[in-house]
């Protein structure tokens, strides 16, 4: 005792450091994870200079440096590196990526005429252009100072053509197809029920639609033809001639000519495409708009479903239910629900929501659809509604527990004041308890959203797909299509990372998509936190 | 902030003032009775004493009520403590007045007395001093209270002069001499009234300044 | 002669008005006993509370004074496992009358709590809460009730420019007066106060006490307080409880100046225990 009291350091102070260490490790891990995802995700869109590398074996490589790593089998004290170049031109090289021993690289130069191309098919390309053969037959050689502006003008023209083509094929033809499907179902129904009046009407409708289809096809072809003339004559690294039609080009840039501002513009343009456009090339290129939208809509729906359900349940448990063994069992069950693996919810969603509920809905309301459309289910298959419901069920315990805690945290005095004012129990709950516990409830919803938005496994069973032809929201009544399958960022990450045919090309997109998913969850949370803080502001100065 | 029970303190003050005015009235009336040999007036004065006694009891009750119920602090405590003394002094003054009335009746029984020695002058000063003491309480005027302390000496002097005048006299009839002895009692009573006024003034100074100047000098 | 000579014109009678008219047994408690589960909290309480007077309940902690108060508007119904014997009537009608809704009882018996407990709503909404739950929707009625109650609670001048601000931004004393305004907004007949000043500073306490003094013109007030001084200052009658029993009930003056029970004397003079 005496010896320890001599010390200036209080006993047990080391624990402060020890606990602090835990925090630091935790923080370090979070920050490390976020920065890894951020750096890897953001650099995808950045265009660095592209070298022309001379290799010992006589090969020449033009390609963007993708990775550098210690060569397997090299000594630890004298590490040897190898480099991975993204060379593009998959149709010629067989692979977009190429590993090269660093020791074998004789020289790297950065000639100004290296052109980077993003293409509609076959991934990117790095070439040395020779001449631009314009639509009007003029040929502009690379030496012409007007080459670059002419090239960009042709690329823009090609983009316009392609957008027109997309508009016709995807939307207008898609619309005709949809109407055609409906008309065919109606025709079959009419034939089956022998509705003599309707059959010819439907037939005529189908004929009309077929005509429209043919006309649109022709129109689309015309659009394609109008832009199909210009080509870019180039040479690849090996000097082989490569002729690239401009209709194939999405974006073109001279990576070794750009200044920082130019690179920033390019970065912004690519990032914009990533967020606002639809995917191309088996999801490895283009944008993620459908997935972002799908995730957002699904999460919002999930919250809209889980909040009232959870709050009502919690109110009953906390305010009305009699204390006793049954209540205890219910509480324990609810809490345990939070520990059930999410895939189990997926199975439940598939088995109950999709097959039982969805099947019944189809039987009741869409029996014609089933009968005359080759048993194609409407709600009897995975879809937005079932995904939202499944996740709502999964996150229910979070909301219930948070709401119960928020309700019990409302000061007793407030409850008593309300009752003493002559309010009934329900009036007290509605007017006093719920508003006062709203911030706590919202905290639960925030947690539920964070969990739901990032969940993938159960969704794969109940309605998320790799590529959805349509958004769950469009201009066709009833505007919001709860039955449709949709794309989801989390599933997208999984799909890119593990299901992609070209894993090298997909990897950067995995990070970019992850970053986007994190950003989306953070945005949703910030929104909810903002609402919560506005509610809390009403409690300012409260003495509890 | 004005509290509802502060009204009761005002009530107490009013009761004390009322008592004071009654005591002064009695003193004045009894002096008139002495000077004019008016028995009925003297009798009236004796009847007034009970009323003052009642007032004293009421004041005491009010003081006790206030002390128990309203937890007074500061000048309120001084007022309450002093009020008890002031009430007591006023009651004594009223008693002295009725003593004078008794003596006056004894004198008038023996027939009117021509020479009242210095008693009328002493009575005037006693009334003035009492008036001054009451005013110092009513107005909260510490200067007036201090004036009372000074003027008390005038009454004492006149009282002594009454003794000297009595012993200096000769050739009076036994009846007159007996009446003069009564007069000495009256003079003594007036001197007592002066002393009580002085006590009141001391209490007023205590209320106003917190200074306890009793038994000073 | 100064005007003070004439008692009939100069005096204002400010005695506690035991002579204010009204039923002498407005609240009548008869042989009342009360249990929390197996524990008897109140035993054989019998007292009459006259109309429009202030009655204070005093006694040491756990003496049952708050329990009795909270039974007057049946706030104890919220507690599980309670039972009672005897009866309490208000204006002749039992509060346990099966035909009497607890809600309507509470509308007639307002309550102010120890800890000021305004709702996290605007000042205005706090005051009109009781009217809103009664289903009053008419704006002008609500506005009028709001102003009247706040004026009665001596708070109107302080908050009239911020009726729409949060009630939680008020000071402690203002909050408690707001709670009083809220309790009287639907014009109850009785006001129960459970240690309304225990968390307030002396100034705020003084204001509340003055308020109680004014409110007794219209309401019958029952106040539980730990402060004997407060009981002495504000009440007309005082009941002293000890261990769930009613030891003495009399005028406040009698209880504090000359109690008839030795236990009361010991308690008020601080010689208790």
Of B14, B70, B71, the CB nearest to C4: B14
* C-alpha A410: how far from chain center: 39
Say yes or no to pLDDT of A154 above 60.
yes
* pLDDT tens, position by position, C117-168: 898 888 999 999 999 999 889 999 999 999 999 988 888 999 999 999 888 8
Say yes or no to pLDDT of C54 above 90.
yes
C88 with C135: CB under 8 angstroms? no
CB contact under 8 A, B71 and C7: no
Q: What is the pLDDT of residue C259?
A: 93
* pLDDT tens, position by position, A70-92: 888 777 788 888 888 888 888 88
Chain B nearest-CA distance from C171, in A, is 18
3-state SS class at C100: coil
C210 contacts on B by Cβ (under 8 Å) = 1, 3-4
Nearest residue on chain C to A417, judged by CA atoms?
Answer: C117
Q: What is the pLDDT of residue C13?
A: 40
Q: What percent of chain B has pLDDT over 90?
A: 70
Q: What percent of chain A has pLDDT over 90?
A: 15
Residues 6 or more apart from A179 whose CB is under 8 A from it?
A205, A209
Say yes or no to pLDDT of A1 above 50.
no
C253 contacts on B by Cβ (under 8 Å) = 65, 68-69
Residues 6 or more apart from B183 whose CB is under 8 A from it?
B103, B107, B113, B116, B117, B119, B162, B166
* pLDDT tens, position by position, A204-217: 888 888 888 888 88
C110 touches A: beta carbon within 8 Å = yes
Q: What is the pLDDT of residue C237?
A: 95
Q: Which CATH superfamily is domain A294-537 in?
A: MetI-like (1.10.3720.10)
Say yes or no to pLDDT of B62 above 90.
yes
Q: Identify which has the larger pLDDT, A295 or A287.
A: A295
C111 contacts on A by Cβ (under 8 Å) = 416-417, 420
Which residue shows structure tokens 């869109």? A45
C248 with C239: CB under 8 angstroms? yes
DSSP annotation of A54 reads E
Q: What is the pLDDT of residue A35?
A: 93
CA distances from B104 to A356, B113, B181 (A): 122, 10, 11
Q: What are phi and psi of C187, to 5 degrees?
A: 50, 65
Count of CB pairs separated by less than 8 Å, B with C? 50
A321 touches C: beta carbon within 8 Å = no
Of C110, C120, C133, the CB nearest to A539: C120
B22-50: average pLDDT: 92
Residues 6 or more apart from B62 whose CB is under 8 A from it?
B8, B11, B12, B15
Q: What is the pLDDT of residue A228?
A: 59
B26-46: average pLDDT: 92
A432 touches C: beta carbon within 8 Å = yes
Nearest residue on chain C to B67, judged by CA atoms?
Answer: C257
Q: What is the pLDDT of residue B149?
A: 93
Q: What is the pLDDT of residue C272?
A: 79
Say yes or no to pLDDT of A288 above 50.
yes
> Could you give the ipTM of this predicted complex?
0.86
pLDDT tier for residue A9 given thresholds of 50, 70 and 90: low
3-state SS class at A457: helix
Of C104, C119, C172, the CB nearest to A417: C119
C100 touches A: beta carbon within 8 Å = no
Query: What length is written for chain C?
Result: 273
Q: What is the pLDDT of residue A542?
A: 44
Name chain C's partners: 3 or more CB pairs within 8 A: A, B
CB contact under 8 A, C232 and B71: yes
* pLDDT tens, position by position, B165-174: 888 887 778 8
- Whole-angstrom Cα distance, residue A431 to residue C268? 43
- Exposed/middle/buried for residue A395 (C-beta within 10 Å: 0-12, 13-18, 19+): buried
Q: Which CATH number fits domain C7-122+189-268: 3.40.50.720, 3.40.710.10, 3.40.50.300, 3.30.470.20?
A: 3.40.50.300
Lowest mean pLDDT among A51-65, A388-402, B148-162: A51-65
* pLDDT tens, position by position, A505-527: 788 888 888 998 888 888 888 88
* pLDDT tens, position by position, C8-52: 333 334 444 444 567 788 899 999 999 998 999 999 999 999 999
Name chain A's partners: 3 or more CB pairs within 8 A: C
C1 contacts on B by Cβ (under 8 Å) = 21
Q: What is the pLDDT of residue C273?
A: 66
A299 touches C: beta carbon within 8 Å = no
A169-194: average pLDDT: 81
Say yes or no to pLDDT of B180 above 70.
yes
DSSP annotation of C17 reads -
CA-nearest of A331, C5, A469, A356 to B19 is C5
Q: Give helix B75-109 / helix B174-209 axis angle, nearest 10°.
A: 170
Instruction: Provide the CB-side half-sphere exposure for B120 (13 A, CA).
Output: 11
Nearest residue on chain B to C202, judged by CA atoms?
Answer: B1
CA-nearest of C218, C120, C98, C208 to A417 is C120
Say yes or no to pLDDT of A270 above 70.
yes
Pairing of strands C54-58, C237-242: parallel
Pairing of strands A52-55, A60-62: antiparallel
- Whole-angstrom Cα distance, residue B20 to residue A367? 109
B132 with B205: CB under 8 angstroms? no
Q: What is the pLDDT of residue B217?
A: 59
CB contact under 8 A, C119 and A540: no
Chain C nearest-CA distance from A539, in A, is 6
A320 touches C: beta carbon within 8 Å = no
Determine if residue A3 is left, alpha or beta; phi over 0 gives left, psi from -120 to 50 gives alpha, anything else beta: alpha
DSSP annotation of A71 reads P
Question: Beta-strand (E) ranges in chain C?
Answer: 27-36, 39-49, 54-58, 82-90, 93-94, 109-112, 190-194, 220-224, 237-242, 245-251
Residues 6 or more apart from C223 whose CB is under 8 A from it?
C54, C55, C56, C57, C192, C193, C196, C212, C230, C231, C234, C235
Name chain B's partners: 3 or more CB pairs within 8 A: C
C2 contacts on B by Cβ (under 8 Å) = 17, 21, 138
Of C12, C210, C256, the CB nearest to B3: C210
C240-261: average pLDDT: 93
- Exposed/middle/buried for residue B19 (C-beta within 10 Å: 0-12, 13-18, 19+): buried
A417-443: average pLDDT: 90
Chain C nearest-CA distance from A279, in A, is 49
Token pair recorded at residue A45: 């869109």
- Whole-angstrom Cα distance, residue A457 to residue A446? 20
- Exposed/middle/buried for residue C139 (C-beta within 10 Å: 0-12, 13-18, 19+): exposed
Helix count and strand count (H, E) for chain B: 6, 0
- Give pTM, 2 decimals: 0.74
Of C120, C121, C133, the CB nearest to A421: C133
C258 contacts on B by Cβ (under 8 Å) = none
Q: In whole numbers, what is the pLDDT of chain A averaged over residues? A: 84
Query: What length is written for chain B?
Result: 217
Preceding omega of B60 cis (within 30 degrees of 0):
no
A252-273: average pLDDT: 89
Chains B and A touch (3+ CB pairs under 8 A): no
Q: What is the pLDDT of residue B12?
A: 94
Q: Identify which has the larger pLDDT, A475 or A61.
A: A61
Token pair recorded at residue A186: 């109606």
CA distances from B68 to A176, B63, C256 (A): 97, 9, 7
Nearest residue on chain B to C212, judged by CA atoms?
Answer: B4
Chains B and C touch (3+ CB pairs under 8 A): yes
C113 touches A: beta carbon within 8 Å = yes
* pLDDT tens, position by position, C83-113: 999 999 998 899 999 988 899 999 999 999 9
CB contact under 8 A, C133 and A427: yes
Per-residue DSSP letters for A117-161?
EEESSS--EEEEEEEEE-TTS-EEETTSTTHHHHHHHHHHHHHHH
CB contact under 8 A, C206 and B4: no
* pLDDT tens, position by position, B200-217: 999 999 999 988 888 875
CB contact under 8 A, C119 and A432: yes
Lowest mean pLDDT among A122-136, C52-66, C204-218, C233-247: A122-136
Instruction: Return the domain boundaries, chain C.
Output: 7-122+189-268
A418 touches C: beta carbon within 8 Å = yes
Say yes or no to pLDDT of A49 above 50.
yes
Instruction: Return the domain boundaries, chain A.
Output: 52-130, 133-278, 294-537
A421 touches C: beta carbon within 8 Å = yes
Nearest residue on chain A to C179, judged by CA atoms?
Answer: A417
CB contact under 8 A, B17 and C2: yes
Nearest residue on chain C to B23, judged by CA atoms?
Answer: C5
CB contact under 8 A, A436 and C119: yes
Q: In whole numbers, what is the pLDDT of chain C averaged over residues? A: 87
């Amino acid at each position: 005792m005496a010896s320890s009291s001599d010390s200036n350091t209080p006993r047990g102070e080391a624990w402060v450091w020890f606990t602090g260490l835990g925090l630091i490790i935790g923080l370090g891990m979070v920050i490390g994870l976020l920065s890894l995802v951020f750096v890897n995700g953001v650099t995808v869109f950045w265009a660095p200079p592209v070298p022309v590398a001379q290799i010992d074996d006589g090969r020449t490589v033009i390609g963007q440096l993708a990775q550098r790593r210690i060569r397997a089998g090299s000594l630890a004290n004298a590490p040897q590196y190898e480099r991975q170049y993204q060379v593009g031109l998959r149709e010629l090289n067989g692979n977009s990526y190429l590993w090269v021993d660093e020791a074998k690289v004789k020289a790297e130069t950065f000639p100004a005429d290296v052109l980077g191309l993003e293409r509609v098919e076959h991934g990117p390309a790095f070439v040395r252009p020779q001449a631009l053969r314009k639509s009007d037959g003029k040929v502009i050689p690379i030496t012409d100072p007007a080459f670059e502006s002419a090239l960009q003008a042709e690329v823009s023209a090609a983009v316009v053509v392609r957008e027109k083509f997309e508009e016709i094929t995807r939307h207008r033809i898609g619309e005709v197809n949809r109407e055609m499907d409906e008309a065919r179902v109606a025709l079959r129904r009419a034939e089956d029920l022998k509705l003599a009046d309707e059959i010819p009407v439907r037939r005529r409708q189908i004929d009309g639609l077929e005509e429209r289809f043919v006309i649109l096809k022709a129109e689309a072809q015309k659009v394609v033809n109008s832009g199909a003339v210009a080509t870019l004559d180039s040479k690849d690294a090996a000097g082989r001639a490569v002729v690239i039609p401009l209709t194939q080009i999405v974006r073109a840039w001279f990576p070794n000519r750009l200044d920082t501002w130019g690179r920033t513009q390019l970065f912004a343009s690519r990032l914009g495409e990533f967020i606002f456009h639809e995917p191309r090339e088996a999801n490895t290129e283009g944008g993620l708009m459908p997935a972002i939208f799908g995730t957002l809509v699904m999460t919002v729906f999930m919250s809209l479903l889980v909040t009232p359900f959870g709050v009502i349940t919690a109110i009953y448990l906390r305010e009305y239910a009699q204390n006793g063994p049954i209540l205890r069992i219910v509480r324990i069950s609810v809490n345990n629900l939070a520990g059930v693996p999410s895939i189990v919810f997926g199975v439940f969603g598939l088995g109950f929501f999709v097959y039982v509920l969805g099947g019944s809905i189809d039987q009741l309301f869409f029996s014609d659809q089933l009968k005359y459309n080759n048993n194609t289910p409407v709600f009897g298959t995975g879809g937005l509604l079932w995904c939202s419901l499944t996740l709502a069920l999964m996150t229910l315990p979070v909301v219930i527990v948070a709401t119960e805690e928020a309700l019990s945290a409302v000061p007793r005095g407030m409850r008593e004041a309300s009752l003493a004012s002559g309010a009934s129990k329900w009036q007290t709950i509605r007017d006093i308890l719920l508003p006062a516990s709203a911030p706590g409830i919202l905290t639960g919803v925030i947690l539920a959203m964070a969990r739901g938005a990032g969940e993938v496994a159960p969704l794969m069973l109940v309605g998320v797909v790799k590529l959805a032809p349509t958004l769950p929201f469009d201009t066709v009544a009833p505007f919001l299509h709860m039955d449709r399958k949709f794309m989801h960022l989390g599933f997208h990450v999984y799909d890119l990372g593990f299901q992609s045919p070209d894993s090298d090309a997909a990897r950067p997109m995995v990070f970019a998509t992850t970053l986007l998913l994190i950003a989306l969850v953070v945005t949703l949370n910030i929104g909810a936190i903002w609402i919560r803080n506005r509610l809390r502001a009403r409690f300012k100065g409260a003495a509890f | 902030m004005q509290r509802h029970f502060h009204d009761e303190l005002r009530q107490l003050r009013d009761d004390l003032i009322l008592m004071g005015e009654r005591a002064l009235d009695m003193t004045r009336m009894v002096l008139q009775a002495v000077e004019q040999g008016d028995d009925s007036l003297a009798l009236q004065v004796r009847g007034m004493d009970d009323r003052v006694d009642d007032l004293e009891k009421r004041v005491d009750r009010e003081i006790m009520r206030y002390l128990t119920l309203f937890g007074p602090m500061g000048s309120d405590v001084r007022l309450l403590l002093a009020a008890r003394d002031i009430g007591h002094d006023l009651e004594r003054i009223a008693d002295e007045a009725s003593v004078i009335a008794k003596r006056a009746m004894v004198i008038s029984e023996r027939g009117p007395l021509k020479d009242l020695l210095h008693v009328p002058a002493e009575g005037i000063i006693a009334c003035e001093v009492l008036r001054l003491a009451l005013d110092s309480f009513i107005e909260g005027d510490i200067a007036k209270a201090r004036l009372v302390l000074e003027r008390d000496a005038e009454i004492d002097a006149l009282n002594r002069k009454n003794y000297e005048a009595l012993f200096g006299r000769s050739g009076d009839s036994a009846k007159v001499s007996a009446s003069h002895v009564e007069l000495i009692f009256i003079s003594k009573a007036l001197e007592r009234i002066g002393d009580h006024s002085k006590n009141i003034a001391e209490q007023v100074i205590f209320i106003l300044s917190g200074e306890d100047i009793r038994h000073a000098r | 002669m100064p005007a003070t000579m004439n008692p009939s014109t100069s005096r204002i009678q400010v005695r506690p008005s035991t002579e204010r008219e009204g039923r002498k047994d407005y609240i009548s408690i008869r042989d009342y006993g009360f249990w929390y589960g197996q524990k008897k909290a109140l035993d054989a309480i019998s007292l009459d509370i006259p109309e429009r007077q202030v009655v204070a309940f005093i006694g040491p902690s756990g003496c049952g004074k708050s329990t009795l108060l909270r039974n007057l508007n049946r706030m104890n119904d919220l507690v599980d496992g309670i039972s009672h014997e005897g009866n309490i009537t208000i204006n002749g009608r039992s509060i346990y009358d099966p035909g009497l809704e607890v809600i309507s009882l509470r509308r007639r018996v307002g309550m102010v709590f120890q800890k000021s407990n305004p709702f996290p709503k605007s000042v205005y909404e706090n005051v009109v809460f009781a009217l809103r739950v009664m289903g009053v929707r008419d704006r002008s009625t609500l506005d009028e009730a709001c102003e009247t109650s706040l004026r009665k609670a001596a708070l109107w001048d302080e908050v009239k420019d911020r009726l729409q601000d949060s009630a939680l931004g008020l000071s402690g004393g203002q909050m408690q007066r707001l709670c009083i305004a809220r309790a009287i907004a639907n014009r109850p007949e009785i006001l129960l106060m459970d240690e309304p000043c225990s968390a307030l500073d002396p100034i705020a306490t003084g204001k509340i006490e003055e308020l109680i003094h004014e409110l007794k013109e219209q309401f019958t007030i029952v106040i539980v307080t730990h402060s004997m001084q407060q009981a002495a200052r504000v009440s007309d009658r005082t009941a002293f409880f000890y261990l769930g029993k009613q030891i003495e009930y009399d005028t406040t003056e009698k209880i504090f100046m000359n109690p008839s029970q030795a236990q009361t004397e010991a308690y008020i003079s601080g010689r208790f225990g």
